[in-house]
Amino acid sequence: MSTQDDPIGIRRYDYVEFYVGSAKMVAYWYAKTLGLKISAYLGPETGIRETVSYLLTKNELKFVITGPAQPTNFELWGFLQKHGDGVKRWAVEVDDVESAFRHATSHGAVMVRRPEKLVDDHGYVEEAAIRLYDDTELVYVNRDNYDYIFKPKYCIPLQQINLESEDTGLVGIDHIVGNVRENEMSLWADYFNSCMNFETFVDFKHGDIGTKFSALLSKVVRSKNSIIRNPINEPYQGIKKSQIEEYIEQYYGSGVQHIAIRTEDIVKTVAALRKNGMEFLTIPDTYYDMLREREDLNIEEDLEELKKHEILCDIEGNGYLLQLFAKPIGDRPTFFFEIIQRHGGSEGFGKGNFQALFESIELDQELRGNLGREPVDVMPPC
Ligand code: FE2
């Protein structure tokens, strides 16, 4: 689908930037575990004194890992102190940064960074940014006039390190999910729809997602050309604390909950990721007994292989999707990755898997002592 279908001219997901405590250590984890290549570096050696960044890539994936090199960058330190490691900003490539930004701000978007040209001898990259949930940003980027790696001031890595990683076959971003506080979901869906000319694609109401203990509400907004898909979750009252409430408490606010990464062969990808050290949620054998009994089960993959790797399957119309979820990757139970493979035009998000998935998450919440409804000492700021 071309960008002509989208007046904002959205082409694709571009990069996601994470703020972390130690960029070098986390970059090694991404390289080793996700099988990404350390493709570029920015830091004191390239004229940036306060921060260090590593660009990690594979196929369409671009992750930037940024950490402090000095105690003087208060924006970075403030984020880390409050949220821990997390997604600071995600970027979409657009035809025209200036007009996408103008559309957003004239429809109510909160400005973070006006359009600017980042220039060096190789040309320029244009960027602008608007505010998303709490301390998160959405960046518009265009690099049509740049012919070097990533952005000005980045250089090729100073050292090439062989981390002996299995090939994971990861392709690109499928969707990015935000968690927000109770009663904020519709506000943010409206924000996307009006500022970015998105549309609400799915609206999961009370009773659609949950177990007998905990529940959530979710809306999925997407760009008119369907390239960018962004589910937004908010907690819903249940007997026990939902995973979204746990996130909001532990992240001290709203932010990006997970990024789903596409693959063309999920069995191979998951086997490689497990070998590289990635931890996934556990799925009970009974899930596969129920799946086997479904009359509409018509999938290319061997069910025993899916069971062996604990991969979930959701059938929708003529298509189906395969997915599984990693455990939170940092110290707090906040951000995690999803791995997904779509077949036959599947466009869903695994609604049929929510029950098994949430029961698995609740087991981990219980281990962390975060499933109960006891009052917390410090409430997140509103
Ligand atoms: Fe997802």
Measured in Å, residue 230 CA sits from the centre of ligand 1 at 9
Least confident of 69-73, 113-117, 192-196, 203-207: 203-207
| Burial class (CB within 10 angstroms; exposed 0-12, middle 13-18, buried 19+) of 46 | middle
Least confident of 55-69, 99-113, 187-201, 207-221: 207-221
Measured in Å, residue 152 CA sits from the centre of ligand 1 at 33
pLDDT class for 381, splitting at 50, 70, 90? very low
Q: Report the mean per-residue pLDDT for the chain.
A: 90
pLDDT at 364 over 60: yes
Number of Cβ atoms within 10 Å of the Cβ of 330: 17
Measured in Å, residue 144 CA sits from the centre of ligand 1 at 30
Measured in Å, residue 166 CA sits from the centre of ligand 1 at 24
List the alpha helices (DSSP H) in 207-302: 243-251, 266-276, 285-292
pLDDT at 228 over 80: yes
pLDDT at 2: 52
pLDDT at 231 over 90: yes
Measured in Å, residue 349 CA sits from the centre of ligand 1 at 6
Measured in Å, residue 280 CA sits from the centre of ligand 1 at 14
pLDDT at 377 over 50: no
Q: What angle do CA 75, 81, 82 make, to 5 degrees?
A: 90
pLDDT at 146 over 90: yes
Measured in Å, residue 329 CA sits from the centre of ligand 1 at 15
Least confident of 231-235, 298-302, 305-309, 349-353: 349-353
- What mean pLDDT is predicted for residues 210-237? 87
Which residue has better confidence, 200 or 289? 200
Question: Which two tokens mark 104?
Answer: 């957003």
Measured in Å, residue 350 CA sits from the centre of ligand 1 at 8
pLDDT class for 212, splitting at 50, 70, 90? low
Instruction: Identify the helix (H) or strand (E) that includes residue 365.
Output: helix 354-368
Number of Cβ atoms within 10 Å of the Cβ of 7: 13
CA distance 256 to 181: 12
- Structural domains in the chain plus CATH codes: 10-142 (3.10.180.10), 170-368 (3.10.180.10)
CA distance 290 to 15: 39
Measured in Å, residue 304 CA sits from the centre of ligand 1 at 23
Least confident of 127-136, 190-199, 297-306: 297-306
Do residues 151 and 118 make contact, with C-beta atoms less than 8 angstroms apart?
yes
Q: Could you please report the per-residue DSSP string of 28-96?
A: HHHHHHS--EEEEEESGGGT--SEEEEEEEETTEEEEEEEESSTT-HHHHHHHHHH-SEEEEEEEEES-
CA distance 251 to 80: 10
Instruction: Identify the helix (H) or strand (E) that includes residue 309.
Output: helix 303-309
| Burial class (CB within 10 angstroms; exposed 0-12, middle 13-18, buried 19+) of 98 | middle
Each residue of 307-335: pLDDT tens digit?
Answer: 999 999 988 877 899 999 999 999 999 99
Instruction: Identify the helix (H) or strand (E) that includes residue 354.
Output: helix 354-368
pTM above 0.75, yes or no: yes
pLDDT at 101: 96
Query: Half-sphere exposure of 29 toward its Cβ, with a 13 Å CA cutoff?
Result: 13
